[in-house]
């Protein structure tokens, strides 16, 4: 258990809550979840399902209705031919990470992963006794991956490459060319799997989402992770899925049987409605994120000591704070305790996150402006 890491967002949230209990006003920019309510049609579909008997165990791999809807959705959005047998439904997207690494990686094997990146990747790599090989995401490359670097890091021991686009925490997006470069560098290595975390695929502000699965032969060695938490503001429902080779899908379903039995039945019926019902609420939500992005990026750039690139996807900014003279952790604590603004240090996402903070703009424009004003004042009054 000593090797298992965590997600600092939950720790900062509890520190911030403790300060609120003491009467302090805190603006929450630490948590990675949409502040919108789940669209009404989805909630109604869940209630209807609950009232019509979807309250029992269902197949471990997911309800046939939902696996079918996901297969259609992924076929359409990734320009692939996906069948329901290639889909496994899980309580959130996170179990797909856990199960993929557990199922496919042996101790001593190497996993390439983005750094700064979602902290659970590194945590799980260490947990199974594999060797984490960071792929640094650099600000000067717009937090994209350098396919040449990836190629250089592939060895005989490489078992998995984790990709995440749009990326948490940087908002970086992998281009078609970058993905093609990565696909080319593992061509002929059928023993390497790609875990492609596409949970933010719908929250993209420039260009369109591209998936490594579209390149020749890649679908069979990729586990595509997506879900409902971010797109449909359904973080508390716990509904996600993986798309993978059907033989691996059988094993993942077996891991589900051994751990969760199945994903909640009425939640899955809500998922069918999410994918097949009207998408207008989602489009509104993304438009709102787009305008908040403008507010937060220009506000941060006007603060002395901070520079911030425009994220191309997801709902996070990853400003460079080296000009403040404080390290990420000290600055994060200072902003929480002095300014009442909860943010995450870049180092919560790996060692390459030093010099940065992560701020979520899944909060109202009013609160974002309040936070910017407080940060600016706190840095001036040091
Ligand atoms: C990059 C990334 N992948 C996956 C997840 C997991 O989402 P969930 O388990 O809620 O579907 C998150 C959540 O923060 C994330 O940021």
pLDDT tens sequence across 281-330: 999 999 999 999 999 999 999 999 999 999 999 999 999 999 999 999 99
Tens of pLDDT, residue by residue over 158-186, are 999 999 999 999 999 999 999 999 999 99
Given a contact cutoff of 8 angstroms between Cβ atoms, the answer to whether 297 and 314 are in contact is: no
CA distance 380 to 339: 11
Q: Based on C-alpha coordinates, what's the Rg of the chain?
A: 21
Residue nearest to atom 16 of ligand 1 (CA): 168
Ligand 1 centroid to Cα of residue 199, in Å, is: 6
Residue 229 near ligand 1, beta carbon < 6 Å: yes
Best CA proximity match to 96, nearest among 6, 164, 28: 164
348 lines ligand 1 (CB under 6 A): no
> Which residue's CA lies nearest to atom 13 of ligand 1?
32
Q: What is the pLDDT of residue 10?
A: 84
* pLDDT the model gives residue 32: 86
Which atom of ligand 1 is closest in space to residue 164's alpha carbon? 1
What is the distance in A from the centroid of ligand 1 to the CA of 112?
18
C-alpha 313 – ligand 1 centre gap (Å): 14
CA-240 nearest atom, ligand 1: 11
How high is the pLDDT of residue 11? Answer: 86
Q: Determine if ligand 1 sits within 6 Å of the CB of residue 319.
A: no
Query: How many helices and strands, by DSSP H and E, does the chain display?
Result: 12, 12
Question: Is residue 335 predicted with pLDDT exceeding 90?
Answer: yes
In order of 1, 165, 240, the CA distances from 225 in angstroms are 25, 11, 8
Ligand 1 pocket member 32 (CB < 6 A): yes
In 3-state terms, what secondary structure has residue 341? Answer: strand
What is d(CA 83, CA 208) in angstroms, rounded to the nearest whole number?
24
Q: Is the dihedral of CA 338, 299, 235, 75 positive or negative?
A: negative
CB 27 within 8 A of CB 370: yes
Q: What is the pLDDT of residue 31?
A: 87
Pocket test residue of 32, 204, 229 for ligand 1, highest count of atoms within 8 A of CB: 229
Question: What rounded mean pLDDT belongs to the chain?
Answer: 96
Q: Does residue 198 line the site of ligand 1, with CB under 6 A?
A: no
pLDDT tens for each residue of 196-241: 999 999 999 988 999 999 999 999 999 999 999 999 999 999 999 9
Ligand 1 pocket, residue 96 CB under 6 Å? no
> Residue 42: its pLDDT value, please?
98
88-121 pLDDT, tens digit each:
999 999 999 999 999 999 999 999 999 999 999 9
Q: Is the CB of 360 under 6 A from ligand 1?
A: no
Q: Does residue 195 line the site of ligand 1, with CB under 6 A?
A: no
Q: Is the CB of 93 under 6 A from ligand 1?
A: yes
* pLDDT > 90? residue 347: yes
For 281-347, the DSSP string reads: HHHHHHHHHHHHHHHHHHHHHTSTT-B-PPPSBTTEE--B-GGGTS-HHHHHHHIIIII-EE-EEGG
Q: Would you say 179 and 210 are in contact if contact means Cβ atoms under 8 Å apart?
A: yes
**In this predicted structure, what is the pLDDT of residue 364?**
94
Q: What is the pTM of this model?
A: 0.97
- When pLDDT is averaged across residues 331-350 and rounded to a whole number, the result is 96
In angstroms, what is the span from residue 154 Cα to ligand 1's centroid? 26
Q: Which of 341, 280, 296, 360 is nearest to 34 (CA)?
A: 360
> What sign has the CA pseudo-torsion 165, 171, 175, 178?
negative
User: Distance (Å, rounded) from C-alpha 59 to C-alpha 56?
Assistant: 10
Nearest CA to ligand 1 atom 14: 32
**Cβ of residue 358 lying under 6 Å from some atom of ligand 1:** no
Over residues 2-59, the pLDDT tens digits come to 999 988 888 899 999 999 999 999 999 998 889 999 999 999 999 999 999 999 999 9
- Determine how many CB atoms are found less than 10 A away from the CB of residue 31: 17
Take residue 191 and report the two structure tokens written for it. Answer: 């023993």
Q: Which atom of ligand 1 is nearest to the CA of 167?
A: 1
pLDDT at 355 over 90: yes
- State the angle between helix axes of 365-380 and 280-301 in degrees (0 to 180), rounded to the nearest 10: 20
Asked if residue 382 has pLDDT above 90, the reply is no
- Cα 76 from Cα 80, distance rounded (Å): 7
Q: Is 349 in the pocket of ligand 1 (CB under 6 A)?
A: no
Report the atom number in ligand 1 closest to the C-alpha of 95: 9
Q: Probe ligand 1: pick from 10, 88, 94, max atoms within 8 Å of CB?
A: 94
């Amino acid at each position: 258990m000593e090797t298992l890491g965590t997600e600092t967002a939950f720790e900062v949230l509890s520190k911030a809550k403790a300060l609120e209990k003491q009467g302090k006003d805190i603006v929450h920019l630490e948590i990675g979840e949409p502040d919108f309510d789940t669209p009404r049609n989805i909630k109604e579909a869940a209630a209807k399902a609950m009232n019509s008997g979807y309250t029992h165990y269902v197949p471990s791999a997911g309800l046939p209705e939902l696996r079918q809807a996901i297969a259609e959705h992924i076929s359409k959005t990734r320009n692939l031919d996906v069948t329901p047998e290639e889909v496994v439904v899980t309580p959130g997207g996170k179990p797909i990470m856990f199960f993929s690494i557990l199922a496919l990686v042996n101790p001593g094997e190497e996993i390439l992963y983005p750094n700064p990146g979602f902290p659970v990747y590194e945590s799980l790599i260490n947990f199974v006794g594999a060797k984490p090989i960071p792929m640094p995401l650099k600000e000067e490359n717009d937090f994209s991956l350098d396919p040449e670097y990836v190629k250089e890091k592939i060895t005989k021991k490489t078992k998995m490459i984790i990709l995440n686009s749009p990326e948490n925490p940087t908002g970086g997006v992998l281009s078609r060319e970058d993905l093609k470069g990565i696909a080319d560098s593992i061509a002929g290595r059928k023993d390497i799997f790609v875990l492609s975390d596409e949970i933010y695929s719908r929250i993209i502000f420039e260009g369109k989402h591209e998936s490594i699965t579209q390149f020749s032969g890649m679908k069979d060695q990729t586990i595509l992770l997506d879900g409902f938490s971010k797109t449909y503001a359904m973080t508390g429902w716990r509904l996600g899925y993986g798309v993978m080779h059907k033989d691996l899908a059988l094993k993942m379903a077996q891991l589900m049987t051994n751990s969760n039995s199945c994903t909640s039945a009425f939640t899955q019926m809500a998922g069918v409605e999410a994918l097949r019902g009207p998408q207008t609420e989602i489009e509104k939500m993304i438009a709102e994120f787009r305008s908040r992005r403008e507010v937060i990026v220009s506000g941060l750039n006007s603060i002395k000591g901070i520079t911030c690139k425009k994220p191309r996807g997801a709902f996070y900014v990853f400003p460079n704070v080296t000009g403040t003279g404080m390290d990420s952790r000290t600055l994060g604590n200072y902003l929480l305790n002095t300014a009442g603004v909860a943010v995450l240090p870049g180092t919560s996402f790996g060692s390459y996150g030093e010099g940065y903070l992560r701020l979520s703009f899944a909060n109202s424009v009013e609160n974002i402006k309040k936070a910017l004003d407080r940060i600016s004042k706190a840095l001036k009054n040091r």
